[in-house]
Amino acid sequence: MRRYVVKRVAQAVGVLWAAYTVSFLVLDYLPGDPVTAMAGAGMDSGQVDPAQLAALRHEYGFDKPVLVQYTEYLGRAVRGDFGDTVSTGRPVTSVLIDALPQTLLLTGAALLLAVLLGGGLAVVATYTSQRWLRQLLLSQPPLGVSVPTFWVGLLLVEAFSFRLHWFPAFGNDGLRGLVLPALTLAVPTGAQIAQVLAKSLLTALDQAYTETARAKGAGRWRVHLRHALRNASLPALTVVGLLVGQLIAGSVVVETVFSRDGLGRVTAAAVTAQDIPLVQGVVVFGALIFVATNLVVDLLYPLLDPRIVVASDRRASFA
Amino acid sequence: MTALPDFRRSRWASLTALVTTSVLLTACGSSGDGPDTGSGSGSGSGQAKSGGTLTFTVGSDVGCVDPQQVGSNDTIYSVRQIVDSLTDQDPETGKIVPWLAKSWDINAAATSFTFRLRSGVTFSDGSELTAQVVKDNFDAVPKLGALGTLAQGYLSGVENTTVVDPLTVKVTFKEPNAQFLQATSTHTLGIESSASVHRTPQQKCSDGVTGSGPFVLDQYVQNQSITLAKRTGYDWGSSLWSKKGDAYLDKLVFKVVPEAGVRAGGLQSGQVDAISSVGKANEAALKGGQVTLQHRANPGVVFGLGFNHARPVLKDTKVRQAILSAIDRRQIADTVFPTGTQPATSVLAHTTPDYTNLAADLAFDAARAKSLLDSAGWRTGGDGIRAKDGKRLSLTITWFPNAATNQPALELVQQQLKAVGFDVALKQSQVSQFSTTLQAGDFDVVWGNVTRSDPDILRNSFSTRLANFYRLPSSSLDTALSAQAATTDPAKRGQLVSEAQKLLVRNAYYAPVVELQTQLGLSKKVHNLDFDSGSRIRLHDTWIG
């Protein structure tokens, strides 16, 4: 078990490093730099004193060779210091920490909704003996996955805010303001959970052990939930781990549509302004959340299925 | 046992996802609100009354609440209310009128400006407005850094600012600088308290500043809202305002709502009182009902094609004139831009002081364009594109996604120019690359505009003695542009500006296309929300009822 954890943590660190490096290279490759971006974009921006721009570049270290910048930034990043944002001069870490709670709230609520709605749909669809209902329910997830989040958000706002006046259309205020954005973000996520769970539930219901359980006299509902669902939830759990990344990415769109503050908005603004330190911070921070969630998911497997640890140690030989 | 389905992700999946996200984001960054805004007159009906909160939604937040450092209208709308300026500019006549300065003198050479300040003006921290405070402001502006370029431009070439007596301040320039008087009316040179001036530019950005304006910054939540509260005891409003003393409204809340459709829906459903940047797409949804659309053209250089005169094809005046004639400005204005947008009738928008109507020179005339190209030796080839000495008549227009209207407008320009035999390619570039592209001269033709409520903007854009982005040859245009900067007599200056506009249009140094129009959506219960001379808003006289 210990070896398993050490290996997973080492992999997580590797992913963080790679995320940092690749994002650094991509940003470095982009034309222009944050200082030019900040100096304004317009036909009248000719008044900017080149000496002043050079001084700013020097202040932020953008005038150093790429490799030197990379090593310096990496050295500081390891200690949790991502420098100051170029656009406002605030420390990157504090910008991210300020934005984090709102995004955690949003993605947490969305994940909860997604699990309840997606999981519920899968269970009902596989439980029902009504063919038409099953078909109807099973056709929902592909729809949920394929409609753009942006559009779902606008539809929900139009219906529940502008017409019915039930929920506010924008802002971070209170629980009512959370409903529509969380629902929007939950649609594609829940749909994927439903797809995976329904498929593995159907597989599990075909297995010998459910047959055995039925033969022993367990009721349909009991077989469905206690025996089949428990086994079928393993792949779904893996998907949930992956979906956390998607939720964070989705927050960029949802936070913009619903004018919420959070990591997504910070990301969008940082990229627009080519605020390299901030973008780097966001990428590493996002990777950190993603890696941490998946680490937790990995560690949960053995609890659901004791065979996993053994399998994972053996996996190297046949993977 | 059955093998588990292989849902284990590759360790690289997360990485790929993250990198892809950051790259894709570049493509869907904020659509921005384009350059700037302008005019309008609020309608007053019923009895004006004090009190209430105005909720105004804007599309973006630049992360800074210092009037001296912000250039985006979405932020100017709010922070403008915090500071007063030395002068104000009448949006109707362009005339400069008293505000914090009771009166002023300008020497004949337009190099020295002496302002006599109103007495009894205080900042919201209790400190008094004195000549020394004004000096502190003007001395600090050149040190604002990259965000303060607008302010630095207004004060460029400043020699010194001196305190003549406690309420008289004198600003001296090395060169004639007639535009400075208008510059003192802008939010950019709004006067901040001594304490604010001595803070760092970044502190001023994130914490805001103390001004003497009719409203005080109450709270700033980045990317969310800017809240202002009424300054009680305010008694030194601009001479253009109708109400004396305090503002009507108790509170102003500016909420940041990036999605244009959500802004429109919020206004329509009564969740907010006013919205910025109403585009053509949202007009239909807002028409009728409890909403008024209010618009004004931005003063300054209109949207148009800036030619790189160093390119051989564009050195030929006839080719450039052909481009001016080939563009059907009315079609572009009506198809792409908000209702009421006017086709360009000069290099300057009609809301700019000393604008001259040159509509006749800018009429759409494809036949004229064709005959000009014929006489310049460009013959039509098999595919309809002209060529000369085996070279095709090809141009690339570089543009930047700083306004949603840019691409559709340019696609029309492309079609219209093709109709007379030009092969036009459109090249989108990063907004952050705008100034680099201009400085490097790495373009054939560039699309853009500049908002400024003083005709001196022509000198900034087209004088060969300044940056000269368009690589113009020196000509009599320089003489006119320099002369207007050194002329304080309004009539004489107007003549020189008019001459400069004629030279620009008749020599086709720039192809004016369409005016930029600022359009706001207002709930019918909002009264007297007026545009100032720069097509931003004044809120002192605004009331709700």
Does any CB of chain B come closer than 8 Å to the CB of residue A235?
A: yes
Residue of A nearest to B457 (CA): A44
Task: Report residue B283 as tokens.
Answer: 């007009």
Model pLDDT for residues B256-282, shown as the tens digit of each residue: 998 888 899 899 888 999 999 898 888
User: B301 vs A169: CB contact, 8 Å cut-off?
Assistant: no
Residue A3 sits in the same domain as residue A22: yes
Q: Could you report the per-residue pLDDT of A67-76, keeping only the tens digit for each?
A: 888 888 888 8
In this prediction, residue A136 carries a pLDDT of 87
Residue numbers of the domain that contains A55: 1-87+276-319
Shared-domain flag, residues A254 and A286: no
Closest partner residue to A170 among B30, B266, B433, by Cβ? Answer: B266
pLDDT band at B70; cut points 50, 70, 90:
confident
- Site from B9, B30, B70, B223 to mutate, A interface, most A CB atoms within 10 angstroms: B223
Same-domain status, A74 and A200: no
Residue B295: its H or E element: strand B291-297
d(CA A139, CA B215): 56
Q: Looking at beta carbons, which residues of chain A come within 8 Å of B156? A: 47
Measured between beta carbons, the chain A residues lying within 8 angstroms of B23 are 26
The first and second tokens of residue A24, run together, are 């650094």
A92 assigned to some structural domain = no
Do both A102 and A225 map to the same domain? Answer: yes
- What are the phi and psi torsion angles at B362 (to 5°)? -110, 25
Whether residues B258 and A259 touch (CB distance < 8 A) is answered with: yes
pLDDT at residue B6 tops 60: no
Cβ atoms within 10 Å of A17's Cβ, excluding its own:
16
Instruction: Give A90: exposed, middle or buried? Use CB within 10 Å, 0-12, 13-18, 19+.
Output: middle
Query: What is the tens place of the pLDDT at every residue in A89-138?
Result: 788 888 898 888 889 999 999 999 999 999 899 888 888 878 888 888 88
Q: Which candidate from B12, B149, B224 shows the least CB-CB separation from A261?
A: B224
Q: What's the mean pLDDT in B177-196?
A: 95
Res. B360: pLDDT tops 90 = yes
> What is residue B43's predicted lDDT score, i.e. its pLDDT?
47
Of A241-250, B15-24, B84-93, B309-318, the least confident:
B15-24
- Three-state SS sequence of B159-199: EEEEEEECCEEEEEECCCCCCHHHHCCCHHHCEECHHHHCC
Report the distance separating Cα A111 and Cα A275, nearest Å. Answer: 30
Calpha distance B439→B441 (Å, rounded): 6
Looking at domain B300-515, which of 3.10.105.10, 3.40.228.10, 3.40.50.2000, 3.40.470.10 is its CATH number? 3.10.105.10
Mutant choice from B7, B14, B268 vs A, greatest count of A C-beta within 10 A? B14
Distance from CA of B206 to the nearest CA of A (A): 7
Same domain, residue pair A192 and A299:
no
Whether A56 and A124 share a structural domain: no
Number of domains in chain A: 2
Q: What is the per-residue pLDDT for B136?
A: 96
Contact (CB, 8 A) for B179 and B456: yes
Taking contacts as CB-CB distances below 8 angstroms, the residues of chain B near A163 are: 269
Mean pLDDT of the region B485-507: 95
pLDDT, tens digit (0-9, with 9 covering 90-100), for B107-135:
999 999 999 999 999 999 999 999 999 99
Write the Ramachandran bin of B120: left for phi over 0, alpha for psi from -120 to 50, otherwise beta: left
Of B209, B195, B258, B192, nearest in space to B64 by CA: B209
What does the buried/exposed string (b/e) look like for B372-384 if buried means 16 or more CB atoms within 10 Å of the residue's CB?
bbeebebeeeeee
A70 and A121 share one domain: no
Q: Per mean pLDDT, which range of A16-25, A36-45, A204-213, B510-519 is the poorest?
A: A36-45
User: Does A122 map to a domain?
Assistant: yes
Subunit contact B4:A45, Cβ cutoff 8 A: no
Q: Looking at beta carbons, which residues of chain A come within 8 Å of B457?
A: 44
Q: Of the candidates B20, B341, B406, B350, which has an alpha carbon nearest to the alpha carbon of residue A41?
A: B406
Residues B309/B443, Cβ–Cβ less than 8 Å = no
User: Are A261 and A282 found together in one domain?
Assistant: no
Q: Which of A11, A21, A43 to mutate to test the interface with B (most CBs of B within 10 A)?
A: A43
- Contact status, residue A248 vs residue A290, Cβ threshold 8 Å: yes
In this prediction, residues B75-80 reach a mean pLDDT of 94
Which of the pair, A62 or A182, is modelled with greater confidence?
A: A182
Question: Residues of chain A with pLDDT > 70: what percent?
Answer: 89
Which of B265, B306, B436 is closest, CB to CB, to A158?
B265
CB A36 within 8 A of CB B438: no
The reported pTM is: 0.82
> Inter-chain contact B152–A245, Cβ cutoff 8 Å?
no
- B45 pLDDT band (50/70/90 cuts)? low
Contact assignment for B271 to A163 by CB distance below 8 Å: no
Mean pLDDT comparison of A11-15, A81-85, B454-458, highest-scoring range: B454-458
Distance from CA of A132 to the nearest CA of B (A): 27
**CA distance linking residue B21 with residue A166, whole number of Å:** 33
Q: CA-based Rg of chain A, rounded to a whole angstrom? A: 24
Chain A residues within 8 A of B13 when measuring between CB atoms: 242
Q: In angstroms, rounded to a whole number, what is the distance separating the alpha carbons of residues B59 and B32?
A: 7
Question: What gap in Å lies between CA B188 and CA A174, rounded to an integer?
Answer: 37
d(CA B504, CA B283): 35
Q: Give pLDDT, residue A144.
A: 86
Structural tokens at position B135:
């000096």
| Residues of chain B contacting residue A10, judged by C-beta atoms under 8 Å apart | none
- Compare CB distances from A252 to B25, B146, B450 and report the shortest one's residue: B25
Chain A residues with CB under 8 Å of B206 CB are 88-90
Average pLDDT, chain B: 88
User: What type of residue sits at position B63?
Assistant: G
Which of the given ranges, A171-185, B14-28, B238-252, has the highest pLDDT on average? B238-252
Tokens of B206: 């994130």
- Does a structural domain hold residue A93? no
Instruction: Tell me the pLDDT tens digit for each residue of A225-268.
Output: 777 787 788 888 888 888 888 888 889 899 988 888 888 888 88
What is the arithmetic mean of pLDDT over B334-360? 95
Q: Is the same domain home to A232 and A296?
A: no
Reduce the DSSP state of residue B38 to 3 states and report it: coil
Closest to B288 measured CA to CA, from B521, B55, B518? B521
Residue B501 reports pLDDT greater than 90: yes
* Residues ≥6 apart with Cβ < 8 Å to B315: B309
Label residue B16 by pLDDT band (50, 70, 90): very low
Name the nearest CA neighbour of A86 among A251, A289, A260, A281. A281
3-state secondary structure of B304: strand
Inter-chain touch B469–A47, beta carbons under 8 Å: no
Cα A238 to chain center, whole Å? 13
Q: Determine which helix (DSSP H) or strand (DSSP E) holds B229, and give its type and residue range.
A: strand B225-230
Q: What pLDDT sits at residue A90?
A: 81
* Chain B residues within an 8 Å CB radius of A40: 71, 146, 149-150, 434-435
**What string of DSSP letters covers B359-376?**
GGGG---HHHHHHHHHHT
Q: How far apart are CA A284 and CA A255, in angstroms?
A: 20
Residues in chain B: 545
| A136 inside domain | yes
Consecutive H or E run containing A105: helix A92-127
Same domain, A263 and A308: no
List, for residues B393-420, the tens digit of each pLDDT value: 999 999 988 788 999 999 999 999 999 9
Q: Where are the alpha helices (DSSP H) in B269-356?
A: 280-286, 312-315, 317-326, 329-336
Q: Answer yes or no: do A168 and B268 touch at CB < 8 A.
A: no
Q: What is the ipTM of this complex?
A: 0.76
Residues 22-41 of A with CB under 8 A from B: 22-23, 26-27, 30-41
Q: Write the pLDDT tens digit of every residue in B414-426.
A: 999 999 999 999 9
Judging contacts by C-beta atoms under 8 Å, the chain B residues touching residue A168 are 271
Is the separation of the CB atoms in B347 and B304 below 8 Å?
A: yes
Which residue would you say has higher pLDDT here, A172 or B233? B233
Q: What is the DSSP string of B402-426?
A: SSTTHHHHHHHHHHHHHHTT-EEEE
Same domain for A227 and A179?
yes
Q: Does the beta carbon of A10 lie under 8 angstroms from any beta carbon of chain B? A: no
Give pLDDT tens digits for B300-316.
Answer: 999 999 999 999 999 99
Four-point Cα dihedral A222, A223, A227, A233, nearest 10: -90
**What pairs with residue B89 in β-bridges?**
B96
CA A49, A55, A60, A62: dihedral to nearest 10 degrees? 80
The reply to whether A202 and A300 lie within a common domain is no
Angle, helices B406-419 vs B329-336, to 10°: value is 150
Residue-wise pLDDT for B315-327, tens only, equals 999 999 999 999 9
Res. B444 pLDDT band, cuts 50 70 90: very high
Put simply, the answer to whether B7 touches A239 (Cβ < 8 Å) is yes
Average pLDDT over residues B465-485: 92
Choice among A14-23, A70-79, A146-155, B195-204 with the minimum mean pLDDT: A70-79
Residue type, A214: R
Residues 257-296 of A with CB under 8 A from B: 257-259, 261, 265-269, 271-274, 279, 282-283, 286-287, 290-291, 294
- Band the pLDDT of A48: cuts 50, 70, 90: low
Which range, of A150-159, A235-244, B536-545, averages the lowest pLDDT?
A: A235-244
- pLDDT at position A50 is 66
Structure tokens at B43: 């309608």
Side-chain half-sphere exposure of B389, counting CA atoms within 13 A: 2
pLDDT of residue A47: 52
Beta-bridged to residue B388, according to DSSP, are B391
Going by pLDDT thresholds of 50, 70 and 90, the confidence category of residue B376 is very high
d(CA B482, CA B484): 6
Q: Within an 8 Å CB–CB cutoff, is residue A198 touching chain B?
A: no
Indicate the domain borders of chain B: 8-13+33-296+518-544, 300-515
Q: Return the CATH class of domain B8-13+33-296+518-544.
A: alpha beta
List the structure tokens of A311.
């399998």
Per-residue pLDDT, A308 = 65
CATH number at residue A246: 1.10.3720.10
